[in-house]
Structure 1
């Protein structure tokens, strides 16, 4: 048995290391979502040009896609706690840059908002493989789904608070919001140093960039030829692609359907989805064991269903009830699939590499969904777009479920 596995077997679920990871993740995720609201508000203040929300989302996604061949190698070649420290330090730079633009900015400096948000994306791309990959080193296999539930639950709480608090503060003091973001990143940097120094999984062998890209392509192929890893990658990618786009859709739908024009109304509904995800993540962490993870695909079929009824909604409370249901199904769906991918990845290519591939796939889906949203917004009103979004999710999740069942007839998991 390796030193890494001996450490995990002897460690309780809520170890000092996991607590440090949870706190650092909470603060970092809170700031990630608050800075998005701040960036949107800052861009709207500096320019009236349309399409800037899509450009901002793209500037965040692009580093994930371009750095995908390298960040998994970095997460596995260095102690993961130190990688988290580096990633949070880059995010801290992004917060300081955004704050400087807000303090000094004119319309000519709008491009610097994009540059600052690219830094946020770089930090997030570095952070994710280490954040999830570290769980297999800190936790016993029996605790892996529960640890994922804690990570996902705390992340969604942070998303909820970051998005809601960001919306409220942006209407009061944009500078105050960006100061809060910067402080959160600074605290996350400090907490990352409290994570135990764990063994390196795959030492870096000095390969060239071309070799690393080829190696990444090989890792992608390895994971996609594994039935359970493939379904995990596709499922979690659909989850994040849909979730990122739903927030943009709600910003257009709320004033259209509910005649509410304040920023906080849309962010509050986005937060309501997060509440549902917390509930679903908690249920999955309690009810689903690692070997049962593919059963979560049933929950994916339910994600789009409540959106079909949004056309009959006339009050904020009705919308909130439907969006909570969306969140519960989504949380129950994604947590077991995340744990399954980490386990299958650790057995084959390393958890850090597996999560880097996951980030690559997720952000390709986010880019695709944002593109669909942009086109739909040009052709449909927001009510029609929400209905179409629900139908799209039911179709895609149904195809995912059917493909998994069909491949199961000829291949063992």
Structure 2
């Protein structure tokens, strides 16, 4: 069952317990980790002669190490077991770890706390593949983007609250060791009870034989992911975001203290702005994409990451204040407003960037390999984060300042994004479609559920403007293969979109009989593969706003490939810059922006009942329907 809003998922048992389990787990990870860091930093704890600064830096590596060691195994376990049962066992492990951690906090034992940090890394590595691969089992395709958005939002909010809570308890609360011990155990217990409410999620590869050799299995799952170009490029995109984010988040404490001259409160403000930004961007994805997995948001996100990353450099004051500045003076000074906005928007566009990629991986991965693909993602993310740390050290040692380091990474993002979109041009194509259909038009979707979610089908629609294919392609949840006049196919810029989308140019038999025959063969091939094909049976744009007669080509297509036909109608495009009202299209001054456009679909027509005349009547009836 679909819901009107992604927030409605929080009212369902198939999502809320998972959300609560993930939220509490991410919160506890950071509550424990930052409490431990505060204890080491301010109590001067030592291990093996290492000072507090060395221990704090070692802690980051200790937490990441289990993702290298155990992700491959955790991906297999999530395939071979009921994921809800596995979640409960992982939560029992978390309770045990927190009981040991309590001994470390109360005894001031840094070595024991570092061991617990490693074990919490194991806990997170085990839960990571499960939390993403279980979503397609709980949610349908239209809910998937919203569900991922909620998970990402909840994760970043939990991380933020855990960081603040762990630090403040150890710094500000008397008897902080007791308080943090009780809090960590209590959160772990609550996480266990949340996991007990998760519905069953049967194994997707129940007969899988677990390969306990982490090295061979790690190589195997990464090699498998590389076999699917779309999935692998999505994994690399997510990993690059964690490279980008790791650099920014790692440098924020020094940026706040040494560059901005702020206190710890200023650092907390900056990390809060970034986290709230990611959460907000994640939540907005569903609204911006029309409740479908819209990969066009990915280039939009990468543009924002670079744009506001570069602007942050120019928004940073050239000299820090003489005395340490606190929270209220910092936010009261207008000189800081621009950089606060930049950090927030970097987070927002980061959400636009990663949420569609996670959803795309879930959709495009085979169900029996999905958890292992997510495990491969965790391994790659960890590698990129380690490389980010090494690159930051080298760039800073070369003499760059913190603002210059952040600028370099923002510029690197342009190069990486360009390379990825050259490898996977569909991302850029979908972005251009999304941009065109969300800036020039307000498209209302009416009865598009008549279009089947899977299987071969032909869509027929009236032909009003050069933008018809983009509007339809941006509205329909599935990829659509368009058959279009070869002259429209060759229009600059649009040609890139049409070629990338697998559109089929066609000409009349008089113009080019060979091209026409090739087009029919290509349509037959697409339909044999179970795809959606859309044609404009008029064969040309309307010159007066009224439909031209439907040609018999649709009947020949259905005779060759007997599949259902869904009639559709575009309303509101007549008179636009791309239509032929008052002269040739695209040669008159645009008179309207963000126009209201309706795309309405009718009930499917069985193959045996298809005629050109009947389809024209059905499309006309849709055009004549009053707007809702």
Alpha-carbon distance, 1:70 to partner: 0.8
In structure 2, what is the equivalent of residue 22 of structure 1?
19
SS at structure 2 position matched to 1:197:
coil
Check the 8 A contact 2:312/2:342 in 1, yes or no: yes
User: CA distance change for structure 1 residues 116 and 56 in 2, over 3 Å: closer, same or farther?
Assistant: same
Moved more, 50-59 or 304-313: 304-313
In structure 2, what is the equivalent of residue 161 of structure 1?
161
Check the 8 A contact 1:149/1:335 in 2, yes or no: yes
Q: Greater RCO between the two (CA within 8 Å, min separation 6)?
A: 1
TM-score, normalised relative to structure 2? 0.59
Aligned counterparts of 2:127 and 2:133: Cα–Cα separation in 1: 10
Aligned counterparts of 1:127 and 1:352: Cα–Cα separation in 2: 10
In structure 2, what is the equivalent of residue 323 of structure 1?
343
In structure 2, what is the equivalent of residue 81 of structure 1?
84
CA offset digits 1:77-125 (Å, max 9, x no partner): 11111222222233333333333222111xxx43333211101100000
CA offset digits 1:29-50 (Å, max 9, x no partner): 1122222211221222314443
In structure 2, what is the equivalent of residue 232 of structure 1?
234
In structure 1, what is the equivalent of residue 373 of structure 2?
354
Aligned counterparts of 1:340 and 1:131: Cα–Cα separation in 2: 15
Matched, 1:37 2:57: no
In structure 2, what is the equivalent of residue 188 of structure 1?
191
CA offset digits 1:338-371 (Å, max 9, x no partner): 0100111235x52211111111111111111122
RMSD over aligned Cα, in angstroms? 2.7
Alpha-carbon distance, 1:130 to partner: 0.9
User: CA distance change for structure 1 residues 195 and 219 in 2, over 3 Å: closer, same or farther?
Assistant: same
Aligned counterparts of 1:115 and 1:197: Cα–Cα separation in 2: 32
In structure 2, what is the equivalent of residue 387 of structure 1?
407
Alpha-carbon distance, 1:273 to partner: 0.4
Alpha-carbon distance, 1:299 to partner: 1.1
In structure 2, what is the equivalent of residue 8 of structure 1?
none
Matched, 1:364 2:383: yes
SS at structure 2 position matched to 1:179:
helix
User: CA distance change for structure 1 residues 171 and 140 in 2, over 3 Å: closer, same or farther?
Assistant: same
In structure 1, what is the equivalent of residue 355 of structure 2?
335
Check the 8 A contact 1:39/1:98 in 2, yes or no: no
Aligned counterparts of 2:249 and 2:308: Cα–Cα separation in 1: 15
Gap regions ≥5 residues in structure 2? 2-7, 318-329, 430-495, 503-628
Check the 8 A contact 1:93/1:119 in 2, yes or no: no
Aligned counterparts of 1:290 and 1:222: Cα–Cα separation in 2: 26
Moved more, 178-187 or 353-362: 178-187
Aligned counterparts of 2:185 and 2:356: Cα–Cα separation in 1: 32
SS at structure 2 position matched to 1:209:
coil
In structure 2, what is the equivalent of residue 170 of structure 1?
170
Check the 8 A contact 1:89/1:123 in 2, yes or no: no
In structure 2, what is the equivalent of residue 266 of structure 1?
267
Moved more, 187-196 or 235-244: 235-244
Moved more, 141-150 or 300-309: 300-309
Check the 8 A contact 1:164/1:271 in 2, yes or no: no
In structure 1, what is the equivalent of residue 571 of structure 2?
none
- Going by fraction, where is helix more abundant, 1 or 2? 1
User: CA distance change for structure 1 residues 98 and 252 in 2, over 3 Å: closer, same or farther?
Assistant: farther
Matched, 1:373 2:392: yes
SS at structure 1 position matched to 2:206:
coil
CA offset digits 1:140-174 (Å, max 9, x no partner): 12211111112112222212222233333332134
Check the 8 A contact 1:228/1:294 in 2, yes or no: no
Moved more, 395-404 or 120-129: 395-404
SS at structure 2 position matched to 1:60:
helix
Alpha-carbon distance, 1:254 to partner: 0.7
User: In structure 2, which of residues 305, 308, 322 is the aligned counterpart of residue 306 of structure 1?
Assistant: 308
Check the 8 A contact 1:83/1:126 in 2, yes or no: no
Check the 8 A contact 1:294/1:337 in 2, yes or no: no
Alpha-carbon distance, 1:196 to partner: 1.4
Larger radius of gyration: 2
Aligned counterparts of 1:117 and 1:233: Cα–Cα separation in 2: 26
Aligned counterparts of 2:207 and 2:383: Cα–Cα separation in 1: 26
Alpha-carbon distance, 1:75 to partner: 0.8
Moved more, 223-232 or 373-382: 373-382
Alpha-carbon distance, 1:278 to partner: 1.3
User: CA distance change for structure 1 residues 307 and 29 in 2, over 3 Å: closer, same or farther?
Assistant: same
Aligned counterparts of 1:287 and 1:151: Cα–Cα separation in 2: 17
User: CA distance change for structure 1 residues 182 and 240 in 2, over 3 Å: closer, same or farther?
Assistant: farther
In structure 1, what is the equivalent of residue 562 of structure 2?
none
Aligned counterparts of 2:237 and 2:425: Cα–Cα separation in 1: 14
User: CA distance change for structure 1 residues 258 and 295 in 2, over 3 Å: closer, same or farther?
Assistant: closer
